[in-house]
Structure 1
Amino acid sequence: MLRGLTTVSFFADDMSAARAWYSGLLGVEPYFVRPVQGEPAYLEFRIGDHQHELGIIDRRFAPHAQPDQAGGAVVYWHVDDVRAAFERLLSLGATVHEEPVERGPGFVTASVVDPFGNVLGVMYNRHYLDVLASRTGA
């Protein structure tokens, strides 16, 4: 039934600040921008080995009321060095959601809250690398 990750959606009150922050973090500008009344209402980045989509949506278009505190599901993006990625995110203004934790051999997770109130997870996951290697023959 579930075939793959298509888009992770985050919300922001200040779309210009979100665009600048995520462009700086990812090293690319959004490939798609949808304006509403001249202002960006949606930004979309393609990132990673599989070009997954990270969408930033103007919070006024959120389908439900947004909680006062970050929480809920955490989406983890694979990184080669969790500690380095975690420290970089903090240096860019994110705050600690969960310090790096080794979950078992080959699995380390950490998460932050971005400046817009979204939880962003980073993970070293040996299974991710196994799948990637099986598809690339590496």
Structure 2
Amino acid sequence: MLLFRCATATVLCSVVSLTPTLAHGQEQNARDLVQSIVDNELKADTNGHSRWIYRDAHTVNGKSTVKLVVQIPEGDVSKTIEMNGHPLTAQQQQTDKQKMHRFVTDPAVRQKQKRNRQQNGKKVASMMKMLPGAFLWTGSGEQWNSEPT
């Protein structure tokens, strides 16, 4: 979820570049706005309890996979529906069903996923916290511009 929020914050910060410029000498206000966006997204993720159902298309090393993912408090349960553009074979469906069964019945599997999700969340949060300082947020003409530092 934090990854989604990171993408949202990045989009919102991009919108900042489309917002009219602040008066000269108020460049710090642009950075403060970006900081505020990041803080709000991190707070929403910490306090948020929303769950999502979504379709995840993923390609690694030229192999594509499409899954249906359901977020539950214990973690994300996924069902693979397509591999390399084709529906799963009966054997692949059985393997996927066994994987889902292990998630539901084995607390160690859920705990491992939880640890991985927490580690990823910390990394994303760390990256988001760097965003306001990663660019020089300044007013220029009719738009805010950001330049890498």
TM-score by length of 1: 0.23
Structure of greater Rg: 2
Structure having the larger proportion of residues in helix: 2
Q: Structure with the greater relative contact order (CA < 8 A, sep ≥ 6): 1 or 2?
A: 2
Q: More strand by proportion, 1 or 2?
A: 1
